[in-house]
Amino acid sequence: MPESTKNRVMEIRAGLSHALGAAQIALHRAQDAAEAAEARYRRVTAAAKARKRKLADARDGRTVEITAWHDGELAALVGVAAAAADRAAPGAAGEPWHRWEATPLDRPAELRVGRLILPEAPVPARAGDDDSGDRAAGAWASRPGEAAPEPRLDDTPPEVPALVALLDHGHIVVEGDDHRSADAVVAGLLLRALGTSVPGAVQIVGYDPENLGGGLAGFAPLAPAGVLAFVGPGGLDKLLDDLVGHVRRINETVLAGEYSSLRELHLATRRRPEPWRVAVLLGGPELSRHERSQLDRLLRTGAACGVHLVIRGLPVPTGPGIEFVLAAPGADARIQSAGALPVQLDPAPGPSVVTATCRRIAEAVAAGPAPVALDSLLPEAGSEWRESSATGVTAPLGDSPQGPRVMVTLSDYPPHALIAGPSGTGKTNFIYAWMGALAARYSPDELAFYLLDFKEGVSFARFAPGRRDPSWLPHVRLVGVNVNTDREFGLALLRFLGGELRRRADAAKQHEVTNLAELRAEDPDGSWPRIVAVVDEFQVLLSGRDAVSGEAVDLLEDLARRGRSQGIHLILASQDVSGIEALWGRPALVAQFSLRIALPRARRVLAETNAAADSLPRYHAVVNADSGAVEANRVVRVPAAGDREQWSSLQHRLWRRRPDGQGPPRLFDGDVIPKLADSPDFREMQATESPAAPIALLGETIDVESRSARTVLRRAPGRNLAVIGTRMDEACAILATAGRSLAAQFGPDGARFSVVCLDPDARAAAEALHARIPGSGWYDAEGLNWLLEDAATEATASWPADRPHFILIYAADALPGGKAAGDQLRTILQQGPERRLHVLGWWRGAALLRESLGGPASRTDSIGAWVALDVHGSELSPYYPGQGAPNWYPRPWRALHFDRSVHRGAEVIIPYGNA
């Protein structure tokens, strides 16, 4: 083989071996790469698996978390909804029946009819429960991860009540065939509406033509109190008309364009002047066109005026403010406002709860509203006495049910007031409240009160100082209490006011003015307060056809007519229709009393057709400044002024501000026996050498000023005094008064006093007088002849005595000594006074006195003055010259005094007590 071939083979071999080596290297590399790739593949696969696992775990964890959060949210929402429902329907509006009780709220609430059936809400687990513990705790949080609230300790989820809005909101229509559930809804709604409002604030009227009210039978206890009324089967038409009428009236007069609804009015003023009127319409025949349109009107406009309908069995279209309740058993019930959520309706309230609640409401309504305090009528403390009475006196008397205060004025018009109210309806309280409101506004320089109460009792005595309270109302100048038998005191007041009227009229004439306002302007320094004279039970003064009532009516008429322009105002009050009737016969007089005030059930004080007082609630009054015309009625709720504490605090406040030197009012109490020592006339008496006209006081006159009745024993014929009657105590009291007052005017030995006692029963009294008059002589049956003889001589002497001699004889009719003694006494009576010898004797009968004077035909002019006790007027005619018999019906501790030298008619007096 050639070399070259060999070389070539060798080269090829070398080439091949090189190629083989390279291929092997490449193979190894490839194999390495394959291994590395495989390893990577395995790694990646493992990592992917691990990641998948992790993701699945994460997903599962998150799912658990989300589920827990959802459950929590749902449960929380249930809680929130339940709490919101609690707020919307607190107390009696939402409590379930087993623990229900009436709880009046200050504003209307939504009312529960059942409960909403919500999608299953999870049960929150208790702390410490198994693995769901954390989840459950988280479940009540509002967001995952936020702090969880305390878990609830009971495991029932809160119930969410199904609520409907009625009062101040709208109407409710109950639909569905399940009568039982529907009845339960209606009864429940009514009870809740009643139980959430103040008694009387919800009034129900029921129209139940099919069951004749049976559907509302449980509520019957409300009927007597006027809280529930039934309308008969044919009454729907009228009922709807009435309700529409209410809506119209409330719109016009209560809301009056100022508010759009009673609810708004209440929010703005906190007053609720009208009740809610809930009409329950339970089916019936098809509505007439008129009824339909009235019903539609009410559905549209009623709620704003507190007129609400609860309807069953009448077709009602949907509309704003109308809630529909589908009554059905189990979970098939619905309420429209809850959409598709099923509702489980509550059962009906138990009959005992219904009855008991209705009874309590009826009782509360019958008892009337809680009283308002007197303070509500007063200006703020410190701002009293700021008003001027120049043109009149004005004060609030209380709030009207509509809200604003009712102000009442006495002025030129209306000048006088007539108040009527049967006993116990608060007439006296009304007067107190009015006086309090006036007294707080006008100072005593602006206003003066004269008060007279003919009722038994001491109702006005609180204005005068008493044993318990020494203060007085500074405006009060006179208080007469227990004057029911002392009508003369009423007359005295009218006479006094008549005098004041003349004084004012004269002053007005002098200043050439015509009324008080002008007089005050012309005479700014004068004292011209308005005078308000209050006479409670004034009919007592006018009763009887005697001189007292005759004069009283004349005086009243004059005062009523002319008092208006002179600032003298009369307030006459009476509980008795006859009192008002006593005035009715005097139309001119009645016409002056244009301010009329009627308390509940007062009759005849308003105009004949005005029946407003018949339906007045307790503690209310109709105030009418136009003689009782219906249009002028204003109803007022009168505050309680009878409360002593409240009254005292006002009186003390005003009393501390009283003008300097202003003393207490004159208090005339007909039940109190006056004392001589308190008599201003007695206190003023002073001993003088020898008064020419000695005065014998006899008793207290029944008069506005405290005055003593007197007889003057001057040197003149007839100046003797006879006390006539069998009542020893009074007779002795009068003689003692006469003796003590006479003695008070003489110095020692200035006069001679002889005390003669011929009745052993009167001895103690006679001796007491003898002891009180130093130097007086004492005579009884034994020593008397000497005195008579001496005195008869004295009486016939031709010269007048140097000093007077007063012979006080107790039981002068028992004179011993027969005719001689009788003649001597007559001589003394007839001739003594001219020689300053006067007899003050007590005869135990008018006829006995006549005998002492010489028998039936004898003259009586030696008895110039007398005081009669239990002697009838007719027996006194011989001693009552030229005037027939005095009008006198004896009464305890009162006497009739007549002095022919000064009197036109006899006067009633009150003997001073023996003290």
* Residues annotated within a binding site for ATP: 421-428
Beta bridge partner(s), residue 175: 326
Stretch that binds ligand ATP, among 345-353, 443-451, 638-646, 817-825 (CB under 6 A): 638-646
**Nearer to ligand ATP (CB atom), residue 640 or residue 735:** 640
| Rounded CA separation 64/58 (Å) | 10
Shortest distance (Å) from residue 424 CB to ligand ATP: 5
Residue 783's CB is within 10 A of a number of other CB atoms, namely 13
Based on the shown chain and the rule CB under 6 A, indicate whether residue 640 belongs to the binding site for ligand ATP. yes
- Residue 426 is a binding residue for ligand ATP (CB under 6 A): yes
Footprint of ligand ATP on 17-76 (CB under 6 A): none
Candidate segments 513-521, 639-647, 691-699, 827-835, binder of ligand ATP by CB under 6 A = 639-647
Q: With beta carbons less than 8 A apart as the criterion, state whether 419 and 435 touch.
A: no
| 755 token code pair | 């005390």
- Output 102 or 640, the one with its CB closest to ligand ATP: 640
Of residues 557 through 576, those in contact with ligand ATP by CB under 6 A are 575
| Cα(339)–Cα(334) distance, integer angstroms | 8
Binding of ligand ATP by 425 (CB under 6 A): yes
- Which of 619/655 has CB closer to ligand ATP? 619
Per-residue x/- mask for ligand ATP, residues 264 to 303, rule CB under 6 A? ----------------------------------------
Question: Collapsing DSSP states into helix, strand and coil, what is residue 893?
Answer: coil
Q: How far is CA 303 from CA 186, 243, 270, in A?
A: 18, 11, 18
Please enumerate in sequence order all residues whose Cβ is within 8 A of that of 715, keeping only pairs 6 or more positions apart, or say none: 692, 800, 833, 834, 835, 836
600 lines the binding site for ligand ATP (CB under 6 A): no
Q: Is 837 in the site for ligand ATP (CB under 6 A)?
A: no
Minimum CB separation from ligand ATP for residue 545, in Å?
25
Q: Which residue is nearest to ligand ATP (CB)?
A: 426
Residues 517-556 as x/- pattern, contact with ligand ATP by CB under 6 A: ----------------------------------------
Q: How far is the CB of 537 from ligand ATP (least distance, A)?
A: 8
Shortest reach from residue 425's CB to ligand ATP, in Å: 5
CB of 189 to ligand ATP, least distance (A): 34
Q: Considering the complex, what minimum distance in angstroms separates the CB of residue 393 from ligand ATP?
A: 21
Helix spans in 625-679 (H): 644-656
Rounded CA gap, 239 and 278, in Å?
A: 12
Residue 162 CA to residue 671 CA, distance in Å, equals: 69
**Segment 74-113, which members bind ligand ATP (CB under 6 A)?**
none
What is the smallest separation between the CB atom of 619 and ligand ATP, expressed in angstroms?
A: 4
Query: Contact between 308 and ligand ATP (CB under 6 A)?
Result: no
> What does the buried/exposed string (b/e) look like for 14-39 if buried means 16 or more CB atoms within 10 Å of the residue's CB?
eeeeeeeeeeeeeeeeeeeeeeeeee
Question: How many chain residues bind ligand ATP (CB under 6 A)?
Answer: 15
Of 900, 911, 895, which is closest to residue 859 (Cα–Cα)?
A: 900
For residues 687 and 742, give the distance between their C-alpha atoms in angstroms, rounded to a whole number: 9
Binding span for ligand ATP by CB under 6 A among 54-62, 218-226, 299-307, 635-643:
635-643
Judged by CB under 6 A, does residue 423 bind ligand ATP?
A: yes
Select 371 or 890, whichever has its Cβ closest to ligand ATP.
371
Closer to ligand ATP at the Cβ: 592 or 651?
Answer: 651
- Give 159-208 as a DSSP string: P-EEEE--TTT-EEEEESS-HHHHHHHHHHHHHHHHHTS-TTSEEEEEE-
Distances (CA, A) of 823 to 281, 373, 793, 820, 852: 100, 74, 12, 5, 9
Nearest approach, Cβ of residue 384 and ligand ATP (Å): 22
Candidate list 151, 371, 617, 717; residue touching ligand ATP; CB under 6 A:
371
Instruction: Select the span of 6-14, 385-393, 419-427, 609-617 touching ligand ATP (CB under 6 A).
Output: 419-427
CA distance 718 to 578: 46
Examine residue 621 and tell whether it contacts ligand ATP (CB under 6 A): no
Nearer to ligand ATP, 579 or 718 (CB): 579
Out of 137, 247, 638, 896, which residue is the one contacting ligand ATP (CB under 6 A)? 638
Does 428 bind ligand ATP (CB under 6 A)? Our answer is: yes
CA neighbor of 733 nearest in space, from 721, 745, 720, 723: 723
How many angstroms separate the CA atoms of 647 and 439, rounded?
A: 12
Q: What is the rounded distance in angstroms from the CA atom of residue 711 to the CA atom of residue 906?
A: 12
Q: For residue 901, state whether it binds ligand ATP (rule: CB under 6 A).
A: no
Smallest separation (angstroms) from ligand ATP to the CB of 394: 20
Using CB under 6 A, pick the residue from 108, 213, 221, 421 that binds ligand ATP: 421
Query: Residues annotated in the binding site, as ranges?
Result: 421-428
429 binds ligand ATP (CB under 6 A): yes
Contact criterion met (CB below 8 Å) for 411 and 392: yes
Spatial distance between the Cα atoms of 220 and 223, rounded to a whole number of angstroms: 5
C-beta of 181: minimal distance to ligand ATP in Å? 45
Q: Please answer whether residues 604 and 612 qualify as being in contact, where contact means their C-beta atoms are separated by less than 8 angstroms.
A: no
Q: Residues 112, 86: contact at Cβ < 8 Å? A: no
Q: Which amino acid is at 378?
A: L
CB of 428 to ligand ATP, least distance (A): 3
CB 631 within 8 A of CB 607: no
Token pair belonging to 192:
């809740």
Compute the least distance from the CB of residue 579 to ligand ATP, in Å: 11
CB of 484 to ligand ATP, least distance (A): 12
Q: Does 427 bind ligand ATP (CB under 6 A)?
A: yes
Q: Which range binds ligand ATP by CB under 6 A, 13-21, 148-156, 376-384, 425-433?
A: 425-433
Residue 535 or residue 910: which is nearer to ligand ATP going by CB?
535
| For ligand ATP, the closer CB: 465 or 642 | 642
One-letter-per-residue 3-state SS of 58-105: HHHHHHHHHHHHHHHHHHHHHHHHHHHHHHHCCHHHCCCHHHCCCCCC
Asked whether position 434 contacts ligand ATP by CB under 6 A, the answer is no
Cβ contact 445:659 at 8 Å:
yes
Cβ neighbours of residue 754 closer than 8 Å, sequence gap 6 or more: 776, 777, 779, 787, 791, 805, 806, 807, 808
What is the nearest approach in angstroms of ligand ATP to the Cβ of residue 430?
7
385: alpha, beta or left? (left if phi > 0; alpha if psi -120 to 50): left
As measured in angstroms, the least distance from the Cβ of 423 to ligand ATP is: 3
Q: Is 647 in the site for ligand ATP (CB under 6 A)?
A: no
Between 484 and 737, name the residue whose CB sits nearer to ligand ATP. 484
- 770 binds ligand ATP per the rule CB under 6 A: no
Residue of the chain from 214, 315, 424, 816 that contacts ligand ATP (CB under 6 A):
424
Does 619 participate in binding ligand ATP (rule CB under 6 A)?
A: yes
Is the CB of residue 410 less than 8 Å from the CB of residue 392? yes
Give the C-alpha distances (Å, rounded to integers) separating 277 from 132, 170, 187, 270, 297: 54, 12, 16, 19, 15
Task: List the Cα angle 838/839/841 in 5-degree steps.
Answer: 160
Residue whose tokens read 């009312």: 111
Residue closer to ligand ATP (CB basis): 315 or 424: 424
Residue (of 597, 646, 610, 645) closest to 430 by Cα position: 597
Cβ proximity to ligand ATP: between 406 and 765 the closer is 406
**Is position 646 an interface residue for ligand ATP (rule: CB under 6 A)?**
no
Tell me which residues touch ligand ATP (CB under 6 A): 371, 421, 423-429, 575, 619, 638-640, 642
